[in-house]
Chain A
């Protein structure tokens, strides 16, 4: 699974980097950023789902690979 942020929708609420700091960070203006290439390591699936489910703008996308 991979995570991705839609920059058109993100408004910098920061729920993603609060809930899943291993997967997301913030840029200098507080907008969410995916760390690395967004691959969700084993064990981090729940964090990824929480971030997606709590983003008020529905900007966090989960992509199933394959």
Chain B
């Protein structure tokens, strides 16, 4: 067995490290006023967050809540972009709002570099990965992605009603990232559990959350060992061998980046594909137009990304300060809603309408500034191929029962159950 002293053989050596940091009381239940008590984890928000955001943008553009130990929710494009650009005053130390603040000294690296990193480390960690995710590089994944989408549609043969979220959309990013990281394809169902643990299990008890993270760490460590024994041409071997500042990466950077690449691309892309199909299922005019004019798809796709932007991020306020009319405290959360920014009437004409031939569309679905989604070229390729194959193979489809559509909860939004009547 190949030995690399950075990585222990027994995952418990990693998992049992004591956890420093600050916990707050977990508050759940109906929201009294969205301006002073918001929660993105309540069912009303999951079902339809847009009217809430539109209302706040008019009457209280930077909303507050005491939940999660204190958090702010800006809804104007200009505030969201200012925060994304201001990495001095708003830290990425944690980017998922929860009831736990990790110790301040984990910055500037954080738990999952580069998304959890601040300058100056952020730039160097990101630079390592950029080359693997350019448009040209991800184009290499396109033929296999297309073949896989066709295989998924083949499986639907003979059925009148299919779940496009569960039977189609979710499998696509899972397969693509498994191949890029060099993880076994058949582990896909496990990845979905990891994703749910990290992104949706926010209000679970701390012990339960910690066990879930330990399972993810153990899995990643097993993959590291497998790659140490059998190095190959994939992102995991690349990270194990990569060097920064003249030496190999620290083990937490290797597994943190692996975790990020595994988690960041799955729910997000699954959501984007699902929301697009949901829109087309309930809007026959748009569906028919895209079937007739496939060349419009790249433009339509950007509109789906704008109006159903799947990803909301978070920041932590660095120091107490007065910012644009509100008093922020050190370690208050910012719920950084790219979806709300994308529907700001000060930035977009007819922001609430889906205009599939919108030519001018400076949306922020992939973020703004130094953390611009590293996987945006990959995500766009997957979304385009997934929609192309679906529209070619299943040109006619409608919602089987609009009330049966369910949505994810938390910072990544998309349909998790999407029953469609096809044919």
Q: Residues of A with Cβ closer than 8 Å to B?
A: 11-14, 17-18, 26, 28-30, 50, 53-58
Q: Is the CB of A30 within 8 A of B362?
A: no
What CA separation (Å) do A64 and B368 show in the bound complex?
27
Return the contact of A56 from the options B133, B134, B298, B366 (Cβ within 8 A). Answer: B366
**Chain A CB within 8 A of B136 CB:** yes
Task: Report which residue of A17, A28, A55 has the largest number of chain B beta carbons within 10 angstroms of its beta carbon.
Answer: A28
Q: Is the CB of A55 within 8 A of B362?
A: yes
**Number of residue pairs spanning A and B whose beta carbons lie under 8 angstroms apart:** 49
Q: Is the CB of A57 within 8 A of B368?
A: yes
Write 24 A-B pairs (CB below 8 A) sorted by A numbering: A11-B369, A12-B130, A12-B372, A13-B372, A14-B135, A14-B377, A26-B134, A28-B131, A28-B134, A29-B127, A29-B130, A29-B134, A30-B377, A50-B360, A53-B359, A53-B360, A54-B361, A54-B362, A55-B362, A56-B363, A56-B368, A56-B372, A57-B368, A58-B362
What is the interface size of chain B, counting residues whose CB is below 8 A from a CB of the partner? 22
A40 nearest CB across to chain B (Å): 17
Q: Is the CB of A50 within 8 A of B359?
A: yes
Q: With A11-B372, A14-B377, A30-B377 given, is the CB distance from A53 to B362 under 8 Å? A: yes
What CA separation (Å) do A50 and B358 show in the bound complex?
11
Q: B341-380, CB under 8 A of A: which get 1 and which 0? A: 0000000000000000001111110101110100011000
A11-B370, A12-B130, A29-B130 given; 14 more Cβ-contact pairs under 8 Å: A11-B369, A11-B372, A13-B366, A17-B135, A18-B298, A28-B134, A29-B134, A50-B359, A50-B360, A54-B360, A54-B361, A56-B362, A56-B366, A56-B372
Return chain B residues, CB-CB under 8 Å to A17: 135
Task: Report which residue of A17, A53, A55 has the largest number of chain B beta carbons within 10 angstroms of its beta carbon.
Answer: A53
Closest residue of chain B to A49, judged by CB? B360
B268 nearest CB across to chain A (Å): 16
